[in-house]
Copies of this chain bind each other. A is one copy, B any other.
Amino acid sequence: MLVATTIEEVKANVRQWKKDGLKIGLVPTMGYLHEGHASLISRARGECDKVIVSDFVNPIQFGPKEDLATYPRDFDADCKLCEGLGADLIFHPEPSEMYSPDFHSYVGVDTLSAGLCGKSRPIHFNGVCTVVSKLFNITEADKAYFGQKDAQQLAIVKRMVRDLNFNIEIVGCPIIREEDGLAKSSRNTYLSDDARAKATILHKALTKGEEMVRAGETDAIKVRTEITNIIESEPLAKIDYVEVVDLGELQQCDVIDGPILTAVAVYIDNVRLIDNFIVE
């Protein structure tokens, strides 16, 4: 497996692969890889000739009061995992390689970025769209793999690709969970043992909500209220949002009459966790 720290190294390999007519898959990550990432890499491995994993904690998607400095990192472990899964190249640049001091460009998606996580993280999705655009251009990937755990991110990246005519297919992959239902996340490592045990409340609440919708409940407010009540039954939980939105524009809906995303963001003992379900 190649380890590249510069954009030019990646581009040089990509140019050769393109010349050889190979299909390139990209898995963009912020590192500290877990089984969720592994599922994306394995999927890419199965569908593409060459698999690139980017491993970069993207500073511009963190707000000033967020956890950029403390975000967990373990590049050696990431390399082992990627190599074990048959990735061809891991791209691990320094922030200065991605953002020169006179970097001024940005990419974003209106409307879809306004609600859900965008409300409490106003610059987050601009940072995501900008780095993802860079990665798409650097890797010239044919397919890129994103987890559904970041459902809003997935919807935004898909829209961006469609709107800006990127020559890439975005593949959304299912949420990977711990045995007790907690969605895998690099940030789970922040949780104390007690908080870790309590964090299952997100999945419990969403499971109940999903059951209601699948059983035919069309009142989104009832679904939201039920989820909210379950989460609030856990004293350690502090809700950022519980939302039922349409899957197209991610706008809050009162009546469920089409595909919906139900998403929550909850602080468990000051660790912000997200989770969701989709009913098509």
Binding site for B on A (CB under 8 A): 7, 11, 100, 102-112, 129-130, 133-134, 137-138, 140, 159-160, 163-167, 248-249
Nearest residue (CB) in B for A139 is B165
Shortest Cβ gap from A231 to chain B (Å):
30
- Contact in complex: B105, A108 (CB < 8 Å): yes
Report the separation of the CA atoms of residues A160 and B140 in the bound assembly, to the nearest whole angstrom.
17
Report the separation of the CA atoms of residues A140 and B160 in the bound assembly, to the nearest whole angstrom.
17
- Contact in complex: A134, B104 (CB < 8 Å): no
Most B CB contacts (10 A, CB to CB) among A11, A111, A167 go to: A167
Q: Which residues of B lie under 8 Å from residue A248 when comparing CB positions?
A: 102
Number of identical monomers bound together in the oligomeric complex: 2
Shortest Cβ gap from A124 to chain B (Å):
16
Report the separation of the CA atoms of residues A11 and B166 in the bound assembly, to the nearest whole angstrom.
11
Partner of A104, one of B103, B106, B111: B111
Report the separation of the CA atoms of residues A138 and B102 in the bound assembly, to the nearest whole angstrom.
27
- Contact in complex: B104, A164 (CB < 8 Å): no
- Contact in complex: B104, A107 (CB < 8 Å): no
Report the separation of the CA atoms of residues A130 and B165 in the bound assembly, to the nearest whole angstrom.
11
25 contacts between A and B (CB under 8 A): A7-B165, A11-B167, A100-B163, A102-B159, A102-B249, A103-B163, A104-B109, A104-B110, A104-B111, A104-B112, A104-B159, A105-B110, A105-B129, A105-B160, A105-B164, A106-B107, A133-B164, A134-B163, A134-B164, A137-B164, A137-B165, A137-B166, A137-B167, A138-B165, A140-B167
- Contact in complex: B163, A105 (CB < 8 Å): yes
Nearest residue (CB) in B for A133 is B164
Shortest Cβ gap from A133 to chain B (Å):
5
Report the separation of the CA atoms of residues A24 and B67 in the bound assembly, to the nearest whole angstrom.
44
- Contact in complex: A107, B164 (CB < 8 Å): yes
Q: Which residues of B lie under 8 Å from residue A103 when comparing CB positions?
A: 163
Q: Which residues of B lie under 8 Å from residue A163 when comparing CB positions?
A: 100, 103-105, 134
Report the separation of the CA atoms of residues A108 and B249 in the bound assembly, to the nearest whole angstrom.
22
Nearest residue (CB) in B for A103 is B163
- Contact in complex: A164, B130 (CB < 8 Å): yes
Report the separation of the CA atoms of residues A138 and B165 in the bound assembly, to the nearest whole angstrom.
6
- Contact in complex: A106, B110 (CB < 8 Å): yes
Shortest Cβ gap from A182 to chain B (Å):
32
Q: Which residues of B lie under 8 Å from residue A167 when comparing CB positions?
A: 11, 137, 140
Known: A105-B163, A106-B108. 20 other contacts (CB 8 A): A11-B167, A102-B248, A104-B109, A104-B159, A104-B163, A105-B107, A105-B108, A105-B109, A105-B164, A106-B110, A107-B107, A107-B164, A130-B164, A133-B164, A134-B163, A134-B165, A137-B164, A137-B165, A137-B167, A140-B167
